[in-house]
Structure 1
C-alpha cells in the first residue's frame, strides 16, 4: 500500500490566488510554475543541449508551455510515465501588431479576440496589460501593468434602449479598449510605454505578445467564503494543482514510474502550435527522456504503452438559473470534488478503464469526486485529452473542477475544490 499523499487544505486555495495574480499571461504562468519547481529541486534543461539520464527533476520551457518530469533513482529506460496535463492560456483580448489606435479624442489599443471569451464580461471592467516583449537580441522580457490601464466602455442605455433585450457586440468595432485622451495617435506609443514599464529602451523591442487582463484580485465569496471568484481559473487552477502535485511527489520519495507535468499553450484556439498539445513538445520530451537513459525504440514503445495521463481542465457546474442546459442525471456541484468528464463521441478521452484509474486516485487521496456529461441537445467542448491520447497513443482521462461563468473575465468555483483536485493529482502521480 502506498504512503498517504500530501494533503492540501484551504491554504492551497490561498496559494492558488497568489499564483493567479502572479500569472496574468501564459508566459507569466510558466515562469511562476518554473520558480516553484526550482524550489522543489528541479532544474531547467535547454532543448538545444544534450540531456543526461541521471535521476532528479527537470523541466523544459517553450514560450507559454512547460513540461516537467522527475526521474527516480534506478529508473529503467522502459519505465512508464504518469502525466498530469493542463493549459496555460485563457480567452481574452490580445494586442495587434499595430496597437496604437483611437478616434474622436480617445486613445485606444487595437486588440484581437483570442479564443472564445464571454465578450460582455470584459465591458466596463478595469483592465491591465501583460505578456512578453521580444528584444532584438532574441531574448524576452516579461511585462505586467497590473493596475487599471484600459477599459472597454459599454454604450449607455439611453443610446441603446433595447440593450436589456439582448446585447449584441461587434467583435471589431465594440471591443477596442480606451487608455487615454488625445487627438493625435502616434505609432509606438503603447510599446514605448510598456518598454519603459519593463525598464527597457523602446528601440530594443522587436516584437511582443501582449494581452489584456482584469486587475480585480481573486477573492473568496459567500457568507461562509465557500466560493472563489477569480480570473483565469480556466485553466490556471489546473496548472497550479499540477505544479503542486508534481513538487509534492518529487520530494516525497521514489515512485515506480516517472511523474510528469505538461502545461500547454493555445488550447483555447485548437492547440495547433509548437507549444500546444497538437504539437510535438510532449512526445519529444518523453522520447528524449527514454533515450537519455540509454533506451531504444522498443523501450520507448514499452514506456508509452504503460503511460497514463490525467488531462485536467475546468468543467461546468450546474447553473441555478439555467438548470435546463445541463444533463438531468449528472449535476456537478461546487465543493463536490473533481469531476470525471465523459463524452462517447471522444470530445473527452475518458473510458471505463480510465474511470477506474481516476476513482482509485480519489479513494487514495480521500477526496470526493463527481461525473460530468453534457446535455445531449448541446454541443460538448473538448480539451487536450483526446489530442494527447490520439497523438501519443497514451491512455488519457479527462477530469477537472466544476465552475460557473467559464470563459468570463472572472470565473467562479468552490473554494475547496482546488485542493481536492491537487490531492487527487498527487495520489495519481504517486
Structure 2
C-alpha cells in the first residue's frame, strides 16, 4: 500500500469511528455514506422494485444495515459476494430506571453490554448517546441523541484505601463499583428525562418530559481517536472492534465502479457481542429475508433460485483479530502470532468458533495474492477457549461458504483499542478484489 493510501484510509476510519458512538449512530453514518455513493433506501414493509446494477440498502432496528450492488447476471447463476460484520461494541448502557442518589451524589445505573474490559472504563470522561423514543403525532418516533461532552465518570478508589491493588489486581463488582457519577445532590435535582429533552432541543427536536416513552442509551469515552507511534503507524480509538471491519467492508463496496456479474453486498449486524440472538442479529432472519427478496427480483423465477444462488456464493466474516501482545506472548499460540501492520488475518478453529475451512482459507488467500497482500493466520492456544463471530452463525443459517478474517489489534474490548494504520488499507484492498 502507498503511504497516501494508508494515510487516507486511516484518517477516514478514525472520522467514521468518532461519528459513531453507538450502533444507532454507526448505521446513520453508514446510510449517509451509501447515499453519497448513489445507494437508495428500501423499506422492509414495502414492495421492492429492482433492476440489474441497482445500488440499495435496508436497515432493521436502527442498528443493523445491509447494502447491495446488484450484478448484471441473475443471482442463481452468479451468486452473492457478501461481507458480514457487526456494529456493536462492548460498553456500559443505562438501565430503564437509571437515577441513583446516594451519599450526596447523583448517579446513573448501568448494565454491562458484552465482554467489557471493566477496568478501562474507570477515570474516563464519559458521555451519553443513543436513541430516545418519543410519543409524537399519536405514535412512537425515534430520535438519535449525542451529548458530545463529558457528562459522567466512574471514579477509581484511591490507592490509600486499596493498598494491594497493584499486587492483587483491581477487583470490580459490576453492580456496586461501576455506577457513574452524574452530579452533586447539593447542586440540585438530576432529572435524566429533562436532560434528554434539553439535548433534543439543541438538535431542533421539540419534546416534553412526558413525551419520552423509552430510550436506549450508551456511555462512551469522549476522547477523540488518534494516531500514534514513531511514524504514526498506530491507531488508538474506541470501538475498533468492530467498526474497523464495518468501515473496510463499506469502503470496498462503495469503491466498486460499474456492476459486476455477481451481486455484491455487506451486512452489518447488531448484537454480535451478546450472542446475535435478536431480530437484527446474525441469528435472526435479516440477511436471509434480504437475500430471498433479492432473488425474487433478480432471478429466473424458478422455485429453487434462492438455493442455487447460495451454492454460488461466498461470505467473508470480517471481525477484528488478536495481534501478538509483546508483554504476554506466552498466551498466544507459538506458530500463529499475527503482528499489527502485518496484514489481514485468517482465523481458524476446528471446533467451529470460526467458520474457516481449507477451501475458504485458500479462497481468501488467493484474493490476498491478487491484491499483493500477504495474509497472516490466527489459532488460539489449544489450552484456551476461543471467541467467535457472526461467521459460524451465518454459515449455519444460510449454508453459505464462509471464511473468518480480521485485522490484528491489541486491547480488544477495552474502552480504547489499538490497531495499525497500514492494515486498514490492506483489508480494503483485499475486499475490493473480493467484490470484483
- 1:220 is matched with 227
After superposition, where does 1:143-182 map in structure 2 within 5 Å? 143-165=145-167, 166-182=169-185
- 1:58 is matched with 56
Q: Aligned pair 1:293/2:298, yes or no? A: yes
Q: Which stretch has the larger CA shift, 99-108 or 231-240?
A: 99-108
Match of 1:256 among 237, 258, 261: 261
The 8 Å contact of residues 6 and 421 in structure 2, kept in 1 or not, is answered as: no
Shift in Å at residue 191 of structure 1? 2.3
Match of 2:24 among 3, 18, 27: 27
After superposition, where does 1:39-58 map in structure 2 within 5 Å? 39-55=36-52, 56-58=54-56
Aligned to 1:337, the other structure's residue is in SS state: coil
After superposition, where does 1:232-247 map in structure 2 within 5 Å? 232-247=239-254
After superposition, where does 1:20-419 map in structure 2 within 5 Å? 20-55=17-52, 56-63=54-61, 64-75=63-74, 78-136=77-135, 137-165=139-167, 166-182=169-185, 189-199=191-201, 200-201=206-207, 202-249=209-256, 252-293=257-298, 295-419=301-425
Unaligned segments of structure 1, at least 5 residues: 1-6
1:87-142, CA deviations, whole angstroms, 9 ceiling, x for partnerless residues?
00000000000111121111111110000100000000111111011122222111
The 2-side partners of 1:151 and 1:184 are apart by: 17
- 1:4 is matched with none
Query: Size of the alignment, in residue pairs?
Result: 421
The 8 Å contact of residues 103 and 183 in structure 1, kept in 2 or not, is answered as: no
Aligned-pair Cα RMSD in Å = 1.5
The 1-side partners of 2:92 and 2:77 are apart by: 44
The 2-side partners of 1:10 and 1:282 are apart by: 33
The 8 Å contact of residues 69 and 260 in structure 1, kept in 2 or not, is answered as: yes
The 2-side partners of 1:258 and 1:369 are apart by: 25
The 2-side partners of 1:321 and 1:390 are apart by: 37
The 8 Å contact of residues 101 and 185 in structure 1, kept in 2 or not, is answered as: no
The 1-side partners of 2:11 and 2:308 are apart by: 40
When normalised by structure 2's length, the TM-score is 0.94
The 2-side partners of 1:43 and 1:254 are apart by: 15
Shift in Å at residue 381 of structure 1? 0.3
Aligned to 2:151, the other structure's residue is in SS state: strand
Shift in Å at residue 143 of structure 1? 0.7
1:132-165, CA deviations, whole angstroms, 9 ceiling, x for partnerless residues?
1112222211111121111000110111111112
When normalised by structure 1's length, the TM-score is 0.95
1:55-103, CA deviations, whole angstroms, 9 ceiling, x for partnerless residues?
3111111121001111134535543100001000000000000111121
Shift in Å at residue 183 of structure 1? 5.3
The 2-side partners of 1:286 and 1:185 are apart by: 54
The 8 Å contact of residues 78 and 300 in structure 1, kept in 2 or not, is answered as: no
Pick closer, same or farther for the CA change 1:346–1:34 going to 2, 3 Å: same
The 2-side partners of 1:322 and 1:216 are apart by: 27
The 1-side partners of 2:16 and 2:234 are apart by: 17
Pick closer, same or farther for the CA change 1:8–1:224 going to 2, 3 Å: closer
Unaligned segments of structure 2, at least 5 residues: none
The 2-side partners of 1:163 and 1:95 are apart by: 28
The 8 Å contact of residues 339 and 401 in structure 1, kept in 2 or not, is answered as: yes
Aligned to 2:224, the other structure's residue is in SS state: coil
Aligned to 2:35, the other structure's residue is in SS state: helix
The 1-side partners of 2:188 and 2:328 are apart by: 45
The 8 Å contact of residues 227 and 412 in structure 1, kept in 2 or not, is answered as: yes
Shift in Å at residue 186 of structure 1? 5.6
The 2-side partners of 1:341 and 1:409 are apart by: 24
